[in-house]
Structure 1
Amino acid sequence: MAEEQNKAQAEEQVELQQESEQAENVAEGVVEGVVEGDAGDSAEPDLAAQLEAARQEAADAKEQALRAAAEAQNVRRRAEKDAENARKYALEKFAADVLVVADNLDRALAAADTENEELKPLIEGVELTRKAFVDALARHKVEQIDPAGQPFDPEFHEAMAMVPNPDVEPNTVIDVMQKGYTLNGRLLRAAMVVVAKAAE
């Protein structure tokens, strides 16, 4: 991709140089015509008009060259931004697919009987597995959204229900049904939450 960009930039520079040279050649040709032409009174206004036209054409060619250079710079910036986004969000689909693993580990821990002594080693193993999995996601910029007790944010939270609760401020997340995730700050999956509302 970098080679294609460099090739396109080189071609644009060659085109700009050719346009500039053509404008200079036109201006030089007109000036030579003025010098070599008939010095009679009838020819002077015609030569002056040709010179002015050549100057205008050179100015137009210069303006076109500047516009082409600006457009080339904009294309290069857009290509760089697209390449950066491709790098930052390359894992988006994969990360979205593996979030179900974290969800299932959360469900397993929620359903586990913590009072049963025989299950404690198994529960600890699941907890360690879940922690290792979440840490691995975090190393690749996949961050967890666990908004319990925070104000509801429609950008990152999805309200599944609103429940009257006089003990907390209205519009506060009181329960998280499913945690959300972001990838490099971009929402990957919204957190599914229960939100408090004012008592009726």
Structure 2
Amino acid sequence: MSEHDDSFGLLGLSDALADALADAEKLADSKDQHIDSSADGDSPDLDDSDSSESDDESQSIPSAELPASSPNRTKRRPRPVGDGRLIQLQAQFSRLERELNHERGSSARLRKEIEQAKADLKVTRQRFLRQSDQVEAMTAQLDRAQRSLPINSRQKFVKQWIPALDTTVRVLGHLIFDDKVAPEVRQALELLRVEWQRAFDVVDLEVIEATGESFDPQQHEAISRRHEPGVDSGVVLEQVDPGYRLAGHLLRSAQVVVSEDA
């Protein structure tokens, strides 16, 4: 739900509340006018002749025929016609007011979640920007090492970076294909992966990918073996850590799991 949709829903509920309140006020005014007019009609002016005739007639009627007066009986005022409609509008007003309060609460929670997501994204982006700067610095350092050191010295220098390379490649490979990662973060990860590949190209460093390949003891190191139905013996089932070649020379064998017969 967007903020525009929230505003539109709240405005609609506010308008409905205002309309219901206006109708209730109109009915209340109409009710007061009806009561006033009824009060005026309850005490009409009577002339003396009518009064005397009434007195005569009341005197001529035997006392036994007169209805017994009830001291506890009170005259009931007729219920105004608009009371039912007023009660209905009051109920509608209460319902709309509850819905409006609910929408306001939902909108506030949604805004809070959006702000938290923006803050998390900002922190993640800054983190990967720092890593990108570190990769660029390492690339420049490796470039200088390539121009000034012979191959053996280069191999010794690059080997120091292999643990960091393993961790970075493993994390990037996991996060890039994670559906829970936001598209912006996935894009930043892809940029970071490209920077690493550029650093590899500068020093002529090649990553050995072994999964699905036939086991080659020249560039693979089997750390485990297991039987896999439907797979021929001697096939790399899983690569635990990648291998590396520097300028065509094996720097480290790929750590793999190899299939075998039952």
Q: TM-score, normalised by structure 2?
A: 0.39
**Pair 1:134–1:89, CA change in 2 (3 A):** farther
Indicate conservation of the 8 Å contact 1:102/1:134, yes or no. no
Which residue of 207, 220, 239 maps to 1:144?
Answer: 207
Displacement after TM superposition at 1:135 (Å): 2.9
Deviations 1:43-80 (A, max 9, x none): xxxxxxxxxxxxxxxxxxxxxxxxxxxxxxxxxxxxxx
Distance across 2 between alignment mates of 1:191 and 1:156 = 6
TM-align CA RMSD: 2.0
**Pair 1:117–1:142, CA change in 2 (3 A):** closer
Displacement after TM superposition at 1:111 (Å): 4.2
Deviations 1:136-173 (A, max 9, x none): 21332211111111111112111111111132221011
SS in 2 for 1:194: strand
Which residue of 1 is the match for residue 6 of structure 2?
none
Distance across 1 between alignment mates of 2:188 and 2:255 = 26
**2:242 is aligned with 1:185:** no
Which residue of 116, 119, 125 maps to 2:180?
Answer: 116
Displacement after TM superposition at 1:99 (Å): 2.1
Displacement after TM superposition at 1:192 (Å): 0.4
Q: Which has the higher strand share?
A: 1
Indicate conservation of the 8 Å contact 1:141/1:183, yes or no. yes
Match of 1:126, as an amino acid? L
Which residue of 2 is the match for residue 164 of structure 1?
227
Q: TM-score, normalised by structure 1?
A: 0.51
**Pair 1:99–1:126, CA change in 2 (3 A):** farther
SS in 1 for 2:160: helix
Task: List gaps (5 residues or longer) in structure 2.
Answer: 1-148
Distance across 2 between alignment mates of 1:180 and 1:123 = 25
Task: List gaps (5 residues or longer) in structure 1.
Answer: 1-85
Displacement after TM superposition at 1:122 (Å): 2.0
Larger Rg: 2
Distance across 1 between alignment mates of 2:161 and 2:187 = 22
Displacement after TM superposition at 1:131 (Å): 2.8
Distance across 1 between alignment mates of 2:186 and 2:239 = 21
Distance across 2 between alignment mates of 1:117 and 1:182 = 32
Match of 1:170, as an amino acid? S
Distance across 2 between alignment mates of 1:135 and 1:117 = 24
Distance across 1 between alignment mates of 2:258 and 2:205 = 25
**Pair 1:125–1:102, CA change in 2 (3 A):** farther
Deviations 1:62-102 (A, max 9, x none): xxxxxxxxxxxxxxxxxxxxxxxx72333111211112232
Deviations 1:94-116 (A, max 9, x none): 21111223211222234437222
Distance across 2 between alignment mates of 1:115 and 1:107 = 16
**Pair 1:124–1:99, CA change in 2 (3 A):** farther
- Write out aligned runs for 1:14-163 (5 A): 87-112=150-175, 114-118=178-182, 120-163=183-226
Match of 2:154, as an amino acid? L
SS in 2 for 1:132: helix
